[in-house]
Chain A
Amino acid sequence: MKVKYTIDRATSSPVRLKRRRSRSTMPDYAKMKKPDVKLVILGDMNVGKTSLLHRYMERKFKDTISTVGGAFFLKQWGRYNISIWDTAGREQFHGLGSMYCRGASAILLTYDVTSWQSLAELEDRFLSLTDTASDDCIFAVVGNKADLTDAMAVEQEGEQEESCPASVCPTPPASPSAHKQVHREDAMALYRRILRYKMLDERTSLPAESMCFETSAKTGYNVDQLFETLFDLVLPSIMKKRDDEKISTVDLEQSADVAKAKSHCCS
């Protein structure tokens, strides 16, 4: 009786897209909203997942209410649409995690630098959810609330309004107002364990140094770098996906788009 209705990246074929386009009164609008790639933010409650995303999308920090279920956002990145799932960290919504992660190209495992428990939860509770992610999924380990422990993160506030993806900041020296429980080394060790869990070779995967971030949603420290690094890293997976689709279905309009897109996407 149950009608299984799953739309993965694989099943949302361009044919479907085209049909909708032809019917739509606003073709550009419909076209714009087609997500190309999926990014998921996981982590225990109160580590600041929603705040991180809010800081990135709306350039500000505000008090958020505990997320229910998951929230879906679309981010335009160059010619691409990146869908971002901001999930609830509460155990209550744990059952949905694997659904959010299905076919994901990037997963942000988020912890709170002032809480060792929040890092441990990533391994205990959230890592298994990533089983449904795409095979070439990339992982980032993100320590939020760095402003509580690091002076540099606090100072970032003013200048952070304009994105500067070039300056990947080194970990600043600590002048803690709160006790830092998780150090970057711990996060990097976790990253290596994740690779092992995924049975990936450390040498061929992205290095831990570049995939472990410490951020502050409050001040904006490292937030843009985090998202933009990831976006740039998932682009190849978009390309690959489009290539796959080109092989399976012939869609003149679509392939023309891709060709155009390819030429200037990485600028």
Chain B
Amino acid sequence: MEGEYPQSQEPQNVKCCDSRLDCSHIRTDNLIQDVPECTVQDLWLSKRDDLSTSATNGPSSGQEQDPPEMGKGPEQELSDTGSGVLPEGESIVCVAPVGDPEEAFKSKGADDEDQAENASDSASTDNTLEDSSEFMVTVLGRGKLEDEAPEAGPGSPMLAPSSSHRDEDITGESWRLHRKHVFVLSEAGKPIYSRYGNEEALSSTMGVMMALVSFVQSGNNTIRSIYSDEHTVVFMQQGPLVLVSVSSSRQSEQQLRGELLYVYYQIISMLTKASIARIFERKKNYDLRRLLAGSEKILDGLLNLVDSDPSFLLSAVHCLPLASSLRDSISQILQKAITPNLVFSILIAKNQLLTIVQEKTVIEDARLEPADLHLLLNLIGASSAFQAGEIWTPICLPLFNPDCYFYAYISYLDPPECTVCLLLLSTDKEAFYAVAECKRKIDEGMRAQNALRSIARTQSYSASQVGVSDLRHFMYKPFDVPDNHRQLTQFTSPEMEAPYSSEEERMRLLDLYRYMHSRIHSSSRPLKLIYHVAERETLLAWVTSKFELYTCFSPLVTKASAINAITKLLRWIKKEEERLFIRTPPKYSTTPNPSKSSRASKSGPDRQDNTDNGFLSLL
């Protein structure tokens, strides 16, 4: 095992993991050592004045601040068997191919392959462009360079939420202190979206981002990230869109990249990849905000969800725990209410998946990815303003087919409480009335069985039900669900209870989980098991070929008892499996001639067209 980690150092190198924060550097795709730095200087020359002021006041001169807990406590990693203690050593100077970020969504198992690659890659070095990274920090730290006068050192007001982020003053201190900024711009440098502040006001900042991207591009290279003391800047280009995340959340680059990908997918889900490509082909400097106007809140909502909901981190769907008999009978109701061209019937309760029924031919050829379902859930959250009505809207599922629209019917079954939401996806734009008719049938079926009351009675479970005294919380994502490769990846997790009942504490636990996740999935040095003693809790994460597990214990637990507890937990999950997960998703057939349809789909993706309901040709 040690052979894989040629750079291993001594066990007390915990600080090493923080060392990344000291060195500012840029990661790019290809390592071109001899990027002429003078050119870089030239590029920034005009901004010299600001640069020098930033050297005294800017964040780059800021003192190192450790994250609240991460890496502070004694931390040990265990090998797969749990016997040997692996010394940890991490040099961040390595540039590891993070891999196609889309892979992260498709299979975490692919990390095993990375492992081998990483061993050799970790020896390589990167090209450090100190000036430029410092400059970038300046830009991001100061918002608008031009009208910023040197001011006193940054204070420490924490996240100051303003009533409307759109109107926020981007020159203000509070704007700079946001934990995570996300920007979307077009290749021409036109602003498309900013999480905080008005895009228009940020156009010069975005211009600089684009300049960075283009500059590195001109050297036949791709900029991936910039690290500074306090921020990680991650760049991602997807077609004609450039997405940038500026984060002080200490998340790994890989995680931030995954989040950017979600933002990109959300945009795709509203416009389709094909139409975005078409638009920018015709007019390079098109202002995409024209088409996205009104969708900012959907993107805002997505980013808030990404920060607060671990299902995005795990790329898995959270199922509502429910007696399997009840789940089955509800599925049967959905199964019976069908109409031609209906492809997915999804029932969501309390923001968790209750059941999903799929069209037979669809599930044979493709499956609904967790990411697509997350986007749907976010859409539901964002469109709930007027909950008595029935919504009919085109939506593209980017992982299913990025170029075509589905038509989503969204309606609540229990107004005015609005906790049980029915989502029916059809491929036919005109099918609203037929699909609405399905809803009536489902409604009747649910009433007849009094299912709504049963659903209302179900509760998420508490970690104490497991019967392990020190266990506070966990997240368990199995890989061994039967027929898994065809099925939605799911995870289960108890309610976050005391001491994680406040918003801050919950966020803190999620941050710890994110940290564990980043260590487990580190591209340079993936781990199978990690035992982490934090300040106020002890965490243990374990990934095997069958599952991925994150657990949180009270701080005084010993390593042996934690491992013991995990054994008990796994036994409990096994026992409760039927209730916690959707084991075999039911199917129905709504295409008039399924055999013919599935053949058509095999004739390849080039047969799809981009018209609104062209998806049908895929079937």
Q: Which residues of A contact B (CB under 8 A)?
A: 1-7, 12, 24-26, 29-30, 33, 45-46, 50, 53-54, 57-58, 62-73, 86, 88-93, 95-96, 99
Contact = CB atoms under 8 A, between A and B. Distances in A.
Contacts of B436: 72
A17 B332 CA distance: 24
B565 interface: no
B510 to A, nearest CB: 25
Contacts of A54: 386
B434 A70 contact: no
Contacts of B596: 1
Contact of A86 (B294, B384, B389, B617): B389
Contacts of A99: 429-430, 432
A57 B388 contact: yes
Given A1-B616, A58-B388, A69 B394 contact: yes
Interface string B315-352: 00000000000000000000000011100000000000
B444 A92 contact: no
Contacts of B116: none
Interface string B367-409: 0000000000001001111101111111100000000000010
Q: How large is the interface on B (under 10, 10 to 19, 20 to 34, 35 or more residues)?
A: 35 or more
A3 B47 CA distance: 61
A6 B430 contact: yes
Contacts of A88: 294, 393
A54 B384 CA distance: 13
Nearest to A57: B388
Given A4-B430, A24-B444, A30-B440, 12 more contacts: A1-B616, A1-B619, A3-B428, A29-B444, A64-B386, A67-B386, A68-B393, A70-B391, A88-B294, A88-B393, A95-B429, A96-B393
B364 to A, nearest CB: 17
20 contacts: A1-B597, A1-B619, A3-B592, A5-B340, A6-B430, A24-B444, A25-B444, A30-B444, A64-B385, A67-B294, A67-B383, A68-B382, A68-B393, A70-B391, A70-B392, A70-B393, A72-B390, A72-B432, A90-B294, A96-B392
Nearest to A29: B444
Interface in B585-606: 592, 596-597, 600
B453 interface: no
A72 B600 CA distance: 34
Contact of B433 (A12, A30, A71, A86): A12
Which of B292, B392, B394, B395 has the largest number of chain A CB atoms within 10 A? B392
Nearest to B427: A2
Contacts of B434: 5, 7
A176 to B, nearest CB: 23
A26 B444 CA distance: 8
A194 B405 CA distance: 32
B389 A33 contact: no
A69 B388 contact: no
Contacts of A73: 388-390
A72 B391 contact: yes
Interface in B417-440: 428-434, 436, 440
A236 B288 CA distance: 44
B495 interface: no
Contacts of B383: 65, 67-68
A89 B295 CA distance: 12
6 residue pairs, one from A and one from B, having the closest CB atoms = A69-B393, A66-B294, A71-B389, A7-B433, A65-B385, A72-B390
Contacts of A29: 444
Contact of A1 (B388, B394, B444, B617): B617
A41 to B, nearest CB: 12
Contacts of B432: 72, 99
A212 to B, nearest CB: 26
B152 interface: no
Nearest to B294: A66
B596 to A, nearest CB: 8
Contact of A45 (B293, B339, B592): B293
